[in-house]
Amino acid sequence: MAQNVKPRDAAEVEQAINEAIAGGKTLEIVGHGSKRVIGRAAQWDMTLDLSGLSGVTLYEPAELVLSAKVGTPLSEIETLLAGSGQRLAFEPMDYGPLLGRADGGATIGGVLSSNLSGPRRIKAGAARDHFLGVTAVSGRGETFKSGGRVVKNVTGYDLCKLLAGSWGTLAAMTDVTVKTLPRAETERTMLVLGLDEAPAGKLMTAVMGSFADASAAAHMPPTLVKRIAAIAAADGSVTAFRIEGVPPSVAHRAALLEDLARSYGRLGTLDEPSSRELWRGVRDATPFAAGGPSGGRDVWRISTAPASGAELGRALTERVRAEVLYDWAGGLIWAALPPSDDAAAGLVRALVAERGGNAKLIRAPASVRAVVDVFQPQAPALAALTKRVRESFDPRGVLNPGRMWAGV
Amino acid sequence: MAVAMPKLDDAVLARRAEIVAGLKHIVPGEGVIASEEAMRPYESDGLTAYRALPMVVVLPETTAQVSAVLTYCHREGIKVVPRGAGTSLSGGALPLGDGVLLGMAKFKRIRAIDFENRLAVVEPGVTNLAVSQAVDHAGFYYAPDPSSQIACTIGGNVAENSGGVHCLKYGVTTNNVLGCEMVLMNGEVLRLGGSYLDAAGYDLLGVVTGSEGLLGVITEVTVRLLKKPECARAALLGFAASEDAGDCVARIIGAGIIPGGMEMMDRPAIKAAEEFVHAGYPLDVEALLIVELDGPCAEVDYLLERVQEIARGCGALTCRLSNSEDERLLFWAGRKAAFPAVGRISPDYYCMDGTIPRAQLPLVLRRMQEMSAKYALRVANVFHAGDGNLHPLILYDANEPGELERAEEFGADILRLCVEVGGVLTGEHGVGVEKRDLMPAMFSETDLKQQQRLKCAFDDSGLLNPGKVFPTLHRCAELGRLHVHGGQLAFPDLPRF
């Protein structure tokens, strides 16, 4: 039975890690555990529960900055920001639906550790682009800081970038500072109905190269359309574009987008509440929700060159019978595959490699995650560098060993 | 030179002729420069107060040559300093007398432009502006725009994580690069990221960006291209007090407006700029703001009205909106010429680069005036107001004994003040050699050691650009030792290996 350690403050985090080092134990780092089942199925001696480090410590809307303890619930931060007309522009997704966990379970630390983002990634960047400062305890048991609380800073190496997306394998963060941005005054979503993947891909490329300045672009094949309430009434596929901003700007750009899209197919529009609902669904990949019709499928998250997305999606559909959701104008593919012993990892990665990109196995039974690479395998020189980077923070492999790659 | 550099390696210097020959074998023709006269242009970068002739200059043309040069230097224990166009303002490309200066100027090709995926693949010696020019015909551009963009190179931009006046809205280099090819000090060639948004594994590109040439040598960069905004208009706003201008900036952001650019100048900077370029700046104000909105014309017009209302509410004495492209450029002309304008009123000036939480601006300006009196040196301020990045220009005369030293001390005091009020030592110019010894003002020994351990993961020999960024050099073996803290070790006397 794994022991659970729940520090009350940063000093106790340092203490816990030092004890683990001294005792030769490995630690699993968790916040609220909402993404606990992502990663290789590995075993750890103890759990380091950071949910006790909670609370916003600084929020200055005019400076566009917020600091919080690492276990602060994301929902608490989002509510606070909304009160000042702001948000986290990178639109962090909620893995709750996909992984069959309660909605809203994320902490700010988990969001940053997994470098989450959502549909607005194409315009606003990912968590890493908004991560300004950090205090963390390395796997050496030492507390260090990097970055600061200002939005422009090049003093020393940008360790925030490195910690973002490191899944707790380098350090246990205790305090973080992120950039906040104003919410858009209004939003509207334009729909283009009935397109196959290829023309949808072409249209998304055209829109992203236009003055429409879409803050999200996604394509949903007919099967998936039925699973998102905001668009379920549509007949056939839906290609959707979100336009955000001040009212005159939104009206102008929506008209521009209509002109651009008219020759592709029938047009539709979603008002603000429906628009929000749609993009929450796309953000959280709800068509593949654990409790839904595809809940038993294995789910891959694939990052590729946007203009290759449609073709890659087509290949995944034909070769591995995937259901495919396209976000980021084609640059992000969610692929849900019928259950198998290896989630078709070899074929999926070969198809991705032909077009450039990487694939992460987000959802699969532990037995599958124990035998396939969950994270993209790396070329030898890069793998060796990754290992050295890991060891520079955590030479004994105390923090989340094996979560990203075996032996790292 | 006020800063100590690593001790010259006499053994390496004694082998200079052999090393030059070895390098000529790798980079034939005119790619190896060894005569003092021809090396002279490389003796400093944009921080001209610091100079040193390199042992030899090498200008490779291919990744294979870069790899071979680094492999050779790694094997032979020779230090290497990478250099782009040499426009660093912090001495990042300052040569070492016993080191190879690796100039990347011959990597000038734009390898691919991909409008569908909105990216360009360029060699590191391509200038920042050349990228935008190459894609201008299709209505795209590369967003980061450091003021040296006509000369500075993309490789240098990645090394320094360069910003520019538009970075509050469009981000700095790290937010606008997708991938790179780089060569490690041991000669290994790596690819990070690519033509897609989320890279796999650790965000090594994120940490290489802004690493000041200490982690690897960039040989190719994939940059994001953005659609050029349809319209841009600017407001010129004058205030009786810097507090009012600061308040105006806060209220603009508070109203949910993120301008494309938002610049502030203080009275000495306004006066110098106006006398130089006659931009029509008001001379009866303490602070001048240039607020530029860009995007769809309908949006720009709408938001500019709002900015004007906010400015009036903050007691703006001057409020002019640009009504033509010429007028917009005229508003900017003074700001863009601020450095040379200050250069006209003083024999020399020293440009600082701290960032502060914006609300601290009035306090920082007041304290700076006190320091100005103490050091008997004038100071003019230009300020990226949106993101709190302050560029105080300290006016001095290098021919007056002691003035350079006083200016440097004044500058160091300003940077310590920036850190004291919650800011940082450098917003966009980098640490280099210039701010190296101030790093302990912001970072603890533990912080710096962790950064140096990361350096060791990329370069365990410590041969790549040593003497920059870190005030104390440690050997990697020493840094790698695990010290167990706080007496929690179960068996403190147990030998460890």
Looking at chain A, which residue has its C-alpha nearest residue B389? A152
Structure tokens at B47: 């921080």
Beta bridge pairs of residue B193:
B179
Helix or strand or coil: residue B54? Answer: coil
- The reply to whether residue B198 touches residue A252, judged by beta carbons under 8 angstroms, is no
Beta bridge pairs of residue B183:
B189, B217
pLDDT of residue B496: 27
- Min Cα distance B457 → chain A (Å) is 5
With a cut of 70, which residues of chain A have pLDDT below it? 1-2
Closest CB to A154: pick one of B188, B210, B439. B210
Helix or strand or coil: residue A193? Answer: strand
Distance of alpha carbon A321 from alpha carbon A351, whole angstroms: 13
Closest CB to B175: pick one of A21, A125, A251. A125
Task: State the alpha helices, DSSP H only, in B255-360.
Answer: 267-277, 297-313, 325-336, 338-345
Helix or strand or coil: residue B259? Answer: coil
pLDDT of residue B283: 96
- Flag whether pLDDT at B486 surpasses 90: no
By the CB < 8 Å criterion, does A164 face chain B? yes
Closest CB to B484: pick one of A141, A157, A166. A141
By the CB < 8 Å criterion, does A304 face chain B? yes
* pLDDT tens-digit map of B401-454: 999 999 999 999 999 999 999 999 999 999 999 999 999 999 999 999 999 999
Complex ipTM: 0.97
B85 neighbors B127 (Cβ within 8 angstroms): yes
Q: Please name the residue that has the structure tokens 């105006």.
A: B248
Radius of gyration from C-alpha coordinates of chain B:
24
Looking at chain A, which residue has its C-alpha nearest residue B229? A211
Mutation choice for A interface testing from B450, B470, B491, B497 by most A CBs within 10 A: B450
Residue closest to A53 by CA, chosen among A13, A110, A8, A90:
A8
pLDDT of residue B487: 44
B3 neighbors B433 (Cβ within 8 angstroms): yes
Distance of alpha carbon B376 from alpha carbon B389, whole angstroms: 24
Structure tokens at A286: 């709800």
Distance of alpha carbon A189 from alpha carbon A295, whole angstroms: 27
**Burial track B43-56 (b if 16+ CB lie within 10 A, e otherwise):** bbbbbebbebbbbb
- The reply to whether residue A393 touches residue B451, judged by beta carbons under 8 angstroms, is no
From chain A, the residues in CB contact with B205 under 8 A are: 161
pLDDT of residue A43: 87
Of all residues in chain B, what percent are helix, strand and coil, respectively (each to 5)? 40, 20, 40
From chain B, the residues in CB contact with A65 under 8 A are: 357
Closest CB to A152: pick one of B253, B428, B447. B428
- The reply to whether residue A182 touches residue B444, judged by beta carbons under 8 angstroms, is no
A39 neighbors A403 (Cβ within 8 angstroms): yes
Residue closest to B17 by CA, chosen among B4, B41, B34:
B34
DSSP-derived secondary structure for A123-183: HH--GGGGEEEEEEEETTS-EEEEE-SSS---SS--HHHHHTTSTTSSEEEEEEEEE-EEP
The dihedral built from the CA positions of residue A48, A53, A56 and A58, taken in this order, carries a sign that is negative
Residue closest to B106 by CA, chosen among B153, B73, B165:
B153
- The reply to whether residue A155 touches residue B388, judged by beta carbons under 8 angstroms, is no
Residue closest to A329 by CA, chosen among A299, A313, A312, A307:
A307
- The reply to whether residue A161 touches residue B209, judged by beta carbons under 8 angstroms, is yes
By the CB < 8 Å criterion, does A167 face chain B? no
Closest CB to A158: pick one of B174, B457, B486. B174
B349 neighbors B393 (Cβ within 8 angstroms): yes
Looking at chain A, which residue has its C-alpha nearest residue B429? A154
Distance of alpha carbon B356 from alpha carbon B364, whole angstroms: 9
CA A204 to chain centre: 21
- The reply to whether residue A152 touches residue B355, judged by beta carbons under 8 angstroms, is yes
- The reply to whether residue A85 touches residue B175, judged by beta carbons under 8 angstroms, is no
By the CB < 8 Å criterion, does A165 face chain B? yes
Closest CB to A18: pick one of B189, B204, B486. B486
Residues 8-27 of A with CB under 8 A from B: 14-15, 18-19, 21-23
Strands (E), A246-310: 266-270, 298-304
Residue closest to B291 by CA, chosen among B251, B321, B271, B318:
B321
- Assign B493 a pLDDT band (cuts: 50, 70, 90): very low
By the CB < 8 Å criterion, does A185 face chain B? yes
- CB-defined contacts A:B, below 8 A: 287
DSSP-derived secondary structure for B222-256: EEE-EEPPSEEEEEEEEESSHHHHHHHHHHHHHTT
Looking at chain A, which residue has its C-alpha nearest residue B438? A155
Looking at chain B, which residue has its C-alpha nearest residue A171? B450
Distance of alpha carbon B221 from alpha carbon A266, whole angstroms: 40
Mutation choice for A interface testing from B175, B203, B465, B491 by most A CBs within 10 A: B203
Distance of alpha carbon A22 from alpha carbon A258, whole angstroms: 64
Task: State the alpha helices, DSSP H only, in B15-153.
Answer: 16-26, 36-39, 63-76, 128-135
Rounded to a whole number of angstroms, the distance between the first and last alpha carbons of chain A is 24
By the CB < 8 Å criterion, does A58 face chain B? no
- The reply to whether residue B299 touches residue A148, judged by beta carbons under 8 angstroms, is no
- The reply to whether residue B204 touches residue A208, judged by beta carbons under 8 angstroms, is no
From chain B, the residues in CB contact with A115 under 8 A are: 198, 203
* pLDDT tens-digit map of B271-318: 999 999 999 999 999 999 999 999 999 999 999 999 999 999 999 999
By the CB < 8 Å criterion, does A150 face chain B? yes
**Count of H-run helices and E-run strands, chain A:** 14, 18
Looking at chain B, which residue has its C-alpha nearest residue A143? B446
**Angle ∠(B317,B318,B321) on CA atoms, nearest 5:** 150
By the CB < 8 Å criterion, does A255 face chain B? no
Closest CB to B201: pick one of A14, A140, A375. A375
- The reply to whether residue A213 touches residue B184, judged by beta carbons under 8 angstroms, is no
From chain B, the residues in CB contact with A332 under 8 A are: 197-198
> To the nearest whole percent, how much of chain B has pLDDT over 70?
97
Looking at chain B, which residue has its C-alpha nearest residue A168? B202
pLDDT of residue B481: 84
A94 neighbors A110 (Cβ within 8 angstroms): no
From chain A, the residues in CB contact with B431 under 8 A are: 154-156
From chain A, the residues in CB contact with B388 under 8 A are: 63, 150-152
- The reply to whether residue A376 touches residue B201, judged by beta carbons under 8 angstroms, is yes
pLDDT of residue B2: 65
pLDDT of residue B497: 29
CA B2 to chain centre: 21
Distance of alpha carbon A49 from alpha carbon A13, whole angstroms: 9
Looking at chain B, which residue has its C-alpha nearest residue A207? B116
- Flag whether pLDDT at B495 surpasses 80: no
- Min Cα distance A177 → chain B (Å) is 13
- Residue A318 CA: distances (Å) to CA of A342, A353, A354, B402: 18, 17, 16, 76
Strands (E), A266-356: 266-270, 298-304, 323-327, 332-337
- Min Cα distance B364 → chain A (Å) is 15
- Residue B5 CA: distances (Å) to CA of A177, B2, B476, B477: 34, 10, 19, 21
- Residue A311 CA: distances (Å) to CA of A301, A352, B194, B257, B320: 16, 10, 18, 39, 51
Residues 67-106 of A with CB under 8 A from B: 85
Distance of alpha carbon B305 from alpha carbon A390, whole angstroms: 52
- The reply to whether residue A157 touches residue B168, judged by beta carbons under 8 angstroms, is no
- The reply to whether residue A65 touches residue B482, judged by beta carbons under 8 angstroms, is no
Tell me whether strands B56-58 and B99-103 are parallel, antiparallel or unpaired.
Answer: parallel
* pLDDT tens-digit map of B350-409: 999 999 998 899 899 999 999 999 999 999 999 999 999 999 999 999 999 999 999 999
pLDDT of residue A316: 98
Mean pLDDT of chain B: 94
By the CB < 8 Å criterion, does A186 face chain B? no
Distance of alpha carbon B18 from alpha carbon A384, whole angstroms: 33
Residue closest to B331 by CA, chosen among B393, B273, B382:
B273
Closest CB to B482: pick one of A164, A381, A396. A396
pLDDT of residue B3: 80
Looking at chain B, which residue has its C-alpha nearest residue A249? B299
**What pTM does this model have?**
0.96
From chain A, the residues in CB contact with B204 under 8 A are: 162, 382, 385-386, 389
Q: What is the mean pLDDT of residues B213-238?
A: 97
